[in-house]
Amino acid sequence: MMVDIFSIINALSSVLHDSDESSAYSVLPPSASCDICAIGSPWAACDCSYTGANQLSRIDCSNRDMFFVPTWPHGCSTDGIKMIDFSHNLIARVEAETFDTFSCPHQHKRQQLILDFSHNRIHSLDHIAPFDCVAELVLSHNRLTTSSSLSRWKWSQFTHLVNLQLASNRVTHLTSAICQAANLNQIQVQNNPLKSASELGSLRNCISLIKVQTSFKSVPCNCNIIATSSNKSLPLQHNSYASQSYKLSSDLRRTKCNSKSTLPVEVGTAVEMISRDLISSNCKASSSASLLEVQHSVQILFSVIFCTWICLFI
């Protein structure tokens, strides 16, 4: 009889143990419908949105007076996720360990993820797992520097990054490694301590880059900088061999021509005031002159080859 009583007690103990495990997973179930924002979760202060298939779609942690980013829970599927928003908080640093268990969505769903850390106090941001699948990275209005963050990121792993927003930080120059982000289309670096185009590094090597937004106060007004078409943006480099040149956009009412300008304009002239006709005629003339110079060099080369060939047979 005693054996039966002990068997019953063991059975009840087993049931209670299973019940405890089940209740633990009710907060953060390791499934596609991960309830990351449930009461009791470290993410409970955030709001979660889900797709019709019960997949996590959006996590909104903005305006929560948060001082840190909670650790990503193990087992949460990200297949439906499109946005993680930590904007307008008090976060000072984000460490890689926070997202150790984060895994990117399947390959065909990676192009839509937006990661927003804008309007915080971030001075140190590690390369975190979501970077490997983020399409739009919003980091404006923080305290990021090149050495504390940008130079430590694994840019070659930003395979889906299209838009990088770094406005209003403490970036003094851009590392040339940025060009390893093969699909990067736009960079916004207004209101950073960048004083000239030279501090933008070797962005001319970024094959997909189209627009770089800056807040430069002065630029050298020449054919390599000033636009030749709309006169509403500034191409940083004009390359006739490239399929498209990217634009260095700024406030052209406040951007002035500096002493290094080669176009016939006075120092201090607002870029917006330079006529398209002046730009077109001067840049076209320089292009034609270069073309004539090349043609002349080719003619000389053929003459030398012809003379050499004749001398061999005499």
Distance between CA atoms of residues 220 and 226, nearest Å: 8
| Three-state SS at 113 | strand
Q: What is the pLDDT of residue 197?
A: 67
Q: Tell me which of 99-108, 257-266, 278-287, 299-308 is least confident.
A: 299-308
CA dihedral 77, 78, 83, 84 (to 10 degrees): 60
For 158, the token pair is 């930003």
Which letter does DSSP use for residue 80 in this model? T
- What residues does 58 pair with on adjacent strands? 49, 83
259 exposure class (CB count in 10 Å sphere: 0-12, 13-18, 19+): exposed
Distance between CA atoms of residues 137 and 165, nearest Å: 6
Q: What is the mean pLDDT of residues 51-68?
A: 91
The pLDDT confidence band at residue 47, using thresholds 50, 70 and 90, is very high
Q: Which single residue is written with the structure tokens 């090349």?
A: 294
The superfamily in CATH containing domain 22-215 is Ribonuclease Inhibitor (3.80.10.10)
The pLDDT confidence band at residue 311, using thresholds 50, 70 and 90, is low
Distance between CA atoms of residues 84 and 115, nearest Å: 5
The string of pLDDT tens digits covering residues 126-159 is: 999 999 999 999 999 999 999 889 999 999 999 9
Segments making up each domain of the chain, as ranges: 22-215
The pLDDT confidence band at residue 111, using thresholds 50, 70 and 90, is low
Strands (E) across 117-232 are located at 124-125, 134-138, 163-165, 186-188, 211-213, 218-219
Distance between CA atoms of residues 286 and 302, nearest Å: 25
The pLDDT confidence band at residue 299, using thresholds 50, 70 and 90, is low
Q: Which single residue is written with the structure tokens 């949460």?
A: 76
Q: What is the pLDDT of residue 125?
A: 96
Helical segments of the chain, H only: 2-25, 276-313
Collect all residues with Cβ–Cβ distance below 8 Å to 128 and sequence separation of at least 6: 94, 95, 96, 98, 99, 102
